[in-house]
Structures are given as C-alpha cells and as structure tokens.
Amino acid sequence: MTNKNLADLILPNITKTIDDLRREYPKREVEGEVTRVAPSPTGYFHIGGMYQTLIDNMIARNSNGVFYVRIEDTDSKRKVDDAVELIYDTLKNYDLMPNEYQEKDRIVGNYGPYVQSERKEIYQVFIKYLIEIGRAYPCFCSKDKLDEVRERQERYKQRTGYYGPYSTCRKLSIDEAYERVKNGENYIIRFKSKGNFDEKFRFDDLVKGRLLLPENDEDFVIMKADGLPTYHFAHLVDDYLMGTTIVVRGEEWISSLPKHVELFNTFGFDLPKYIHTPNIMKKDEETGKLRKISKRKDPEASMSYYKEHGYPTLAVIESLMTIINTNYEQWHTNNPEKSYLDFVYDPKKMSASGGLYDLDKLINISKTVISKMTKEELCEKAYDWACSYNEDLKELIDRDRDYFMNIINIERCQKKPRKDIAKYEDIVDNIWFMYDDLYESRDKDFDWQVINDKEEIKNILDTYMDKYFNIDDKDSWFNGVRDLTNELGYCANMKEYKEDPSKYKGSVADISTVLRVGLTSKSMSPDLYEIMRLLGKDRILKRYKNI
Ligand code: GLU
C-alpha cells in the first residue's frame, strides 16, 4: 500500500491537481494589494470586523488593488440564517462593498466561489496532495480519547495538543490506516508537522513588528469529518488561490501563525504579508481599567447597535479611523473638507497595543457629522432610519416635511453650526416643543432659572406680546427684546450689568430666558428668534397665555 492508494481511498472523486487549479485561477495581474475580509456568518457583525474592513478597503483603494469578501462558513454549528445578508447589508450601509464577492446566487469576480462551503473540492485537491506526499494522514482518535490526553497534559503541566508522543495515529502504518478507513471507521485528516517547538523563527507583521515565534510541531486537523477544511487549511488554500497579498485579521490569530507558516512552506507558496489588528479597547465602567471590547458585555461591540440608535455611518467610520491611524485626527483637522476616503492608511501609524474606543468620542464626532449635513440630507437620513426604528419621528416628518426641515435647519449651514444632535434617535427629544400637540401633551418642567416669580414672568410675557413682539427681521426682534428689558427695569447691556448687577432687577439674558422657557420649557434651545418665526404669533401667544 502506498500513500497514493490511501489518498485515492479517502478522496476518490478528486482528480484535479493543484496545477489544474492554478490554471483555473491564474495569478492575478493587479497593480496594487489584494485584501480580503473573511467574516463568519454568525448573525453578528463585530465592530472589530468593521475596523478590519475599513483597513482592507483603504489598502486596496490606496494602491489600486482589489478588496474581496470571503464568507467563512465551514463551521456549520455556528451558521445562522440570513447572516450573510446581514454582512452585506452592513457593508452596503457603510458604502464598503468589495470589488469581488458572492451574494445570493450572484458571483462578482473570477476567483470564486467566495463562500467556503462551496469550495470543498478545491480544498480536497490540496488535502489529497498532502496525503499523497505523506504529509497528511487520517486520525481515528475519538473525542473522548483526545479529551483524556488533554487532561493528562494539563495535569502534568505540559503543552496541550496533538504533537510528538501524543500524535498516536501518525505512527500507524499506511496499511493499517488504509484498512481502518476501508472498514468505515470515523476519521479526520491531520497535517504531519516537521517542526520543532524548541526552535524559534522570526516573523515580521506590518503592525506588530518583528515577532519571535516557536515553530509549529502540532499535527493539527486540516480536514474535518464532514470533508470541510479547518480555518488554518482554508486560509492557506484560499489566500493562495485568491491571490491575497495582505491578510488583515485579529491579533488572536498570531498564536496560529506557526501553523500557517509551516503550511505555506510545505507547499512552497509565498506567504502573504500580515496585519494582525490589535484589539479594540474600552474603559470598563466599573473598574475604570482598559479592557478588550466584549461581545457579551458591550452592546456597542455589535454593528447593529449603531444602526438601531441612528448614528450616521460616517460618524462610526470616523471614530474607527481615529484608532486605525494615530495621525488621522490631525490629518482630519488639517483637511476638514476632505473625506476619509482621501486619507492614506499607514500600518506604521497604527498602535500595536490596541486602540481606545469610546462612545463619548463617537458622540462628539457624530454631532459634528450631523451638524455638517444640509437640512435635506439630514431629513432624508433621519427619515430612512425612522421608517425602521422610530414611528414618532417618521410621523412628524410625514406630517409636514418642510416644517420639519425648517426646524432642523435652525443654526445649520453656518460657520459655527449647532451641534445638539448626535444620532437620529435624539431628534424628537430636541424638537418636540415645535409641535403644539407634543408641547401640550408632554409633562414639562419649566426651567425658569433666575426669574422664577410667577407674577413677574406673567408680566414679562404679557408686556412683550402687547408692546414689543416683532419677528419681521432679526434686528426688529432684537430691538423689541431690548426695549422690553429697559421698560421693566432690567439691563439691556451685559457689560454694564456685570459692572454693577445690584443696580438692576436682572439682565437681558434673564429676560430672554423667560421668553425661551415660556415657549420650549427649556433654558437651552436653538436660536429663539428662529423658533419664534417658525411658531408664529398666534401659537406663541397661546403658549404664553397658558403659563
Ligand atoms: N473567519 C475568521 C474570523 O472571523 C477570519 C480570520 C481571517 O481574516 O483570516 O476571525
């Protein structure tokens, strides 16, 4: 019996060779880098995946290369319905669709299928080759047996794994392995390692820098019982055939690098370059210490969080950009009119130890992003969001789109625009008082501030409406407020007031606050003149009368 006989017995239908595949998927002729993101369809899009996608996308775009998506669905236990759709919906939403991908039955690109479960035969060509050259073998060890070995290794404080003396099936003769496969015993395929754990090798990661790693000596699994490859093997085959030049993936894969290096070397394939992205860190609310953002503890670890709360996609991207490259914020300040798409990603400017991500920062960025939108743009985006997530906002926009746009336009499109909305979810809370029905139905806590005597407030409001109300233009409005101030014994000039407050009942600021609170119940609001113009005399009168 030869290795070839064993390979034919295990994979009888595989007749293609690696050379055949190379002809089918020739080396790419592309000027720039080839990057990919390889999400698993688990029904959850982690913020770390988004941050890797941004890097992949930038590298490919900056270099005139190719960015593709490969769906890693070889773990059938973790597969969830509609998860692939969630991945593509998220990428579309963020305008990060790749150059090559496979969605439903549409394949875009010549290196597909881009879904691993559809590439079974391709992997098996490589597996068969390894069995033929004696570098892979069937392993019949049961789960119980492997558990028992692991427990023993742990008990004696040994490295766990299937290596050296523990790689029992490696020692089987070809004849015996052949017989056992033939007899229908369950098996998986393991790689036969030639490495020595005591030897170290150097590895240069584009972000992590030079690493010193032990050689792999584990006979790790490359093909599972269902005929699909493990991650390690799929990484080799796919990134080789699909021509990936830079692998961007999480730093949790560094410990598997020795396996990958040995696999690539065994086949004589060039290793791609790697960027192992540092974890996204956050400050723990309880301990105040930095820790990895966690799927279990932090809702903001999921991309769906941003969608549900109505953060503009650009704000999420900008906040991730600040942890992707340490010079991004400076660049952005120096080039306020440029888009993040103009920024050139540099792996050397990425912190190797982990970027600090915080929601307060996102909120600030988001306020700026929203403040720069035109009223039409904000209305459209908010409406799209509201259709799925906020019936109240949708209803307000449907009621009168122009009126809504006029409200959100207050202090917009000016040198220092107002920054009071961080997410679409905040809008109703910011503008409800501009709608009479909401104004009447809400429980209001009038925040009167300095002047809080009921009689005095009534007097200010009545005198204003009787004698000084004028919203023809901003100057007339302002003069009206000033004259009211003077008539009632308050000081219209803030400088004079501050010099000797005891001379006056209060200042023009106190009077404005009364006028503002009477309309909005809040002491802070957008421009009062604009609010008055939108409400109009009758509605203002009605509100003031009811105070
Ligand atoms: N499916 C792997 C993951 O989600 C991809 C790792 C890689 O990019 O190679 O972690």
User: What's the DSSP call for residue 183?
Assistant: T
Cα(331) to centroid of ligand 1, in Å?
30
User: Model confidence over 245-257: pLDDT tens digits?
Assistant: 999 999 999 999 9
Strand order in the sheet with 280-283: 290-292, 280-283, 355-356
**How far is it, in rounded angstroms, from Cα 459 to Cα 502?**
21
- What six digits make up the tokens of 250? 């999480």
The response to whether residue 41 sits with its C-beta less than 6 Å from ligand 1 reads no
Cα(352) to centroid of ligand 1, in Å?
19
Q: Hey, which of 245, 249, 254 would you mutate to test ligand 1's pocket, going by the most ligand atoms within 8 Å of its Cβ?
A: 249
Q: Are 471 and 519 in contact (CB under 8 A)?
A: no
What is the pLDDT, as a whole number, of residue 61? 96
**How far is it, in rounded angstroms, from Cα 78 to Cα 84?**
12
Q: Hey, which of 231, 235, 277 would you mutate to test ligand 1's pocket, going by the most ligand atoms within 8 Å of its Cβ?
A: 231
Which residue has the CA at smallest separation from atom 3 of ligand 1? 39
- What six digits make up the tokens of 402? 């122009």
Residues 6+ apart with CB under 8 A from 154: 160
Residue 44 DSSP SS3 = coil
What is the pLDDT, as a whole number, of residue 80? 78
Average of pLDDT values for 273-302?
A: 95
Q: Hey, which of 35, 37, 40 would you mutate to test ligand 1's pocket, going by the most ligand atoms within 8 Å of its Cβ?
A: 40
Which numbered atom of ligand 1 lies nearest the CA of 252? 10
Which residue has the CA at smallest separation from atom 5 of ligand 1? 38
CA end-to-end span of the chain: 98
Residues 6+ apart with CB under 8 A from 271: 260, 261, 264
Helices 3-10 and 174-182 cross at an angle (nearest 10°) of 20
Instruction: Provide the pLDDT confidence category of residue 77 given band limits of 50, 70 and 90.
Output: confident
Cα(37) to centroid of ligand 1, in Å?
7
Alpha-carbon 223 to chain mean position = 32
What is the pLDDT, as a whole number, of residue 78? 72
pLDDT above 80 (res 81):
no
pLDDT above 90 (res 296):
yes
Cα(300) to centroid of ligand 1, in Å?
20
Give per-residue burial for 169-202: e unless 16+ CB within 10 Å, then b: bbebebeebbebbeeeeebbbbbbbebebeeeee
Cα(149) to centroid of ligand 1, in Å?
28
Q: What is the dihedral of CA 166, 168, 170, 175, to 10 degrees?
A: 170
The response to whether residue 249 sits with its C-beta less than 6 Å from ligand 1 reads yes
User: What's the DSSP call for residue 467?
Assistant: I
**How far is it, in rounded angstroms, from Cα 464 to Cα 481?**
8
Which numbered atom of ligand 1 lies nearest the CA of 72? 1
What is the pLDDT, as a whole number, of residue 464? 98
- CA angle (103 as vertex; 101, 108 as ends), nearest 5: 40
The response to whether residue 72 sits with its C-beta less than 6 Å from ligand 1 reads yes
The response to whether residue 40 sits with its C-beta less than 6 Å from ligand 1 reads yes
User: Model confidence over 90-144: pLDDT tens digits?
Assistant: 999 999 999 999 998 899 999 999 999 999 999 999 999 999 999 999 999 999 9
Write out the H or E segment, with its range, that includes residue 66: strand 66-69
What is the pLDDT, as a whole number, of residue 104? 86
- What six digits make up the tokens of 93? 């939403």
Which numbered atom of ligand 1 lies nearest the CA of 52? 8
**How far is it, in rounded angstroms, from Cα 97 to Cα 69?**
9
**How far is it, in rounded angstroms, from Cα 439 to Cα 267?**
72
The response to whether residue 70 sits with its C-beta less than 6 Å from ligand 1 reads no
Q: Hey, which of 253, 259, 275, 279 would you mutate to test ligand 1's pocket, going by the most ligand atoms within 8 Å of its Cβ?
A: 253
What is the pLDDT, as a whole number, of residue 217? 98
Residues 6+ apart with CB under 8 A from 93: 307, 313
Which numbered atom of ligand 1 lies nearest the CA of 49? 4
Q: What is the dihedral of CA 89, 95, 101, 106, to 10 degrees?
A: 60
Average of pLDDT values for 483-507?
A: 95
Cα(280) to centroid of ligand 1, in Å?
16
What ranges make up the beta strands (E) of 199-298? 200-205, 209-214, 221-223, 246-250, 273-277, 280-283, 290-292
pLDDT above 90 (res 487):
yes
Which numbered atom of ligand 1 lies nearest the CA of 250? 10
pLDDT above 80 (res 313):
yes
Q: How many CB atoms are located within 10 Å of the residue 430 CB? A: 17
- What six digits make up the tokens of 136? 């892979």
Question: Over the chain, what is the mean pLDDT?
Answer: 96
**How far is it, in rounded angstroms, from Cα 408 to Cα 427?**
9
What is the pLDDT, as a whole number, of residue 491? 96
Instruction: Provide the pLDDT confidence category of residue 75 given band limits of 50, 70 and 90.
Output: confident
pLDDT above 80 (res 463):
yes
Cα(325) to centroid of ligand 1, in Å?
21
Kindly report the three-state secondary structure assignment for every residue of 369-399. Answer: HHHCCCHHHHHHHHHHHHHHHCHHHHHHHHH
Cα(13) to centroid of ligand 1, in Å?
29
The response to whether residue 39 sits with its C-beta less than 6 Å from ligand 1 reads yes
The response to whether residue 38 sits with its C-beta less than 6 Å from ligand 1 reads yes
Which numbered atom of ligand 1 lies nearest the CA of 253? 6
- What six digits make up the tokens of 540? 């203002």
Which residue has the CA at smallest separation from atom 7 of ligand 1? 249
Cα(61) to centroid of ligand 1, in Å?
21
546, exposed or middle or buried, with CB in 10 Å at 0-12, 13-18, 19+? exposed
200-203 long-range Cβ contacts below 8 angstroms, 24+ apart: 201/258, 201/261, 203/257, 203/261
449 φ, ψ (degrees, to nearest 5): 65, -130
292-300 long-range Cβ contacts below 8 angstroms, 24+ apart: 292/354, 293/47, 293/48, 293/357, 295/44, 295/46, 300/47, 300/359
Cα(249) to centroid of ligand 1, in Å?
6
The response to whether residue 235 sits with its C-beta less than 6 Å from ligand 1 reads yes
Kindly report the three-state secondary structure assignment for every residue of 262-287. Answer: HHHHHHCCCCCEEEEECCEEEECCCC
Cα(40) to centroid of ligand 1, in Å?
7
Cα(231) to centroid of ligand 1, in Å?
8
User: Model confidence over 149-200: pLDDT tens digits?
Assistant: 999 999 999 999 999 999 999 999 999 999 999 999 999 999 999 999 999 9
